[in-house]
Structure 1
Amino acid sequence: MKFLCLIISAILILSLASQLEARQRFYCLWSTKRSCSKSTPRCIRLQTGTDATAMTAIYTCKYYRSDCKYLLDMCKGETSFGQLGTTVDVQTYCINNNIPIGGTGVCT
C-alpha cells in the first residue's frame, strides 16, 4: 500500500512540475514579445570550433531579420546556443560591426 502511495505521489509531483515548466516557457515568450523590435536586424557571433592545422578559431555569424526572432530563439533555447539564425559572412556582419565573440549587435 505504501509503495502504491509512493508511485501516485511521484506521478502527481511530475505532472505539477511539467505544468510549471510550461507556464515558465509561456511567460518567457510573452515577456520577450513585449520587449522586442520587429524591424531591427540582429547578428550574433559564435565560436564554432578550432582549425587544428592552422591553430585558429572558427567563427560563425548568425543573422536574424529582426530582434524578435533572435530573442524568441534565445528564450526557447531550441539549439545548444539557442540561436537558429541564418549563417552569414563573419567579417562583413560581425567583425566589421565590432560584435565580440558571444555578443550581439545590429547588422548593417
Structure 2
Amino acid sequence: MKFLALVISTFLILGLSSQLEARKRFYCLWSTKRTCSQNTPRCIRLQTGTNNNAATYTCKYYRSDCQYLLDSCKGETSFGLFGSSVNVQDYCVTNGIAIGGTGACT
C-alpha cells in the first residue's frame, strides 16, 4: 500500500512540475512579445575562457531581439543568462557567424 502511495505521489509531482514549466514558457512568450523587435537581430558575446592571459569569447547570433529575450527569460543557455549584447555587424557578421549559430569572436 505504501509503495502504491509513493508511485501515485511521484506521478502527481511530475505532473505538477510539467505544468509549472508550461506556465513559465507561456509567461516568457507573453512578456517578451510586448517589448521586443521581431526584425532586429541581436549578437550576444560570452567570455568562454582564457588563452595566454587573453580572454576568449564566443558569440551567438540571434535572428531577432525576441528570440534573445525569450532565451534570457527561460534561462536555457549561458548566452541568455550571462552574455552581453554587442554590435551585430562587428562581432557576428564580421566573424562569419550564421544566424542562429555560435562561433568564436573577438
Q: TM-score, normalised by structure 1?
A: 0.62
The runs of at least 4 aligned residues of structure 1 exceeding 6 Å deviation read none
Distance 2:33 2:63 in 1: 15
CA distance in 2, matches of 1:65, 1:81: 14
- Does structure 1 retain, via aligned residues, the 8 Å contact 2:69–2:80? no
Count of residue correspondences: 89
Partner of 1:57: 55
What SS does the aligned partner of 1:36 have? coil
**TM-score normalised to the size of structure 2?**
0.63
Pairwise mapping of residues 22-37 of structure 1 onto structure 2 (< 5 A)? 22-37=22-37
Deviation string for 1:10-36 (max 9, x for gaps)? 211221221121111122122212221
Query: Are 2:16 and 1:16 aligned?
Result: yes
Q: 5+ unaligned residues in a row in structure 1: which ranges?
A: 84-100
Considering only CA atoms, is the larger Rg found in Structure 1 or Structure 2? 1
Identity percentage over the alignment?
72
Structure 2 residue 102 is matched with structure 1 residue 104: no
Q: In structure 2, how many angstroms separate the alpha carbons of the residues matched to 1:6 and 1:79?
A: 34
Query: 62, 66, 69: which is aligned to 1:68?
Result: 66
The aligned counterpart of 1:6 is: 6
C-alpha change, 1:81 and 1:40, in structure 2 (3 Å) is closer
Structure 2 gap segments, 5+ residues each: 90-106
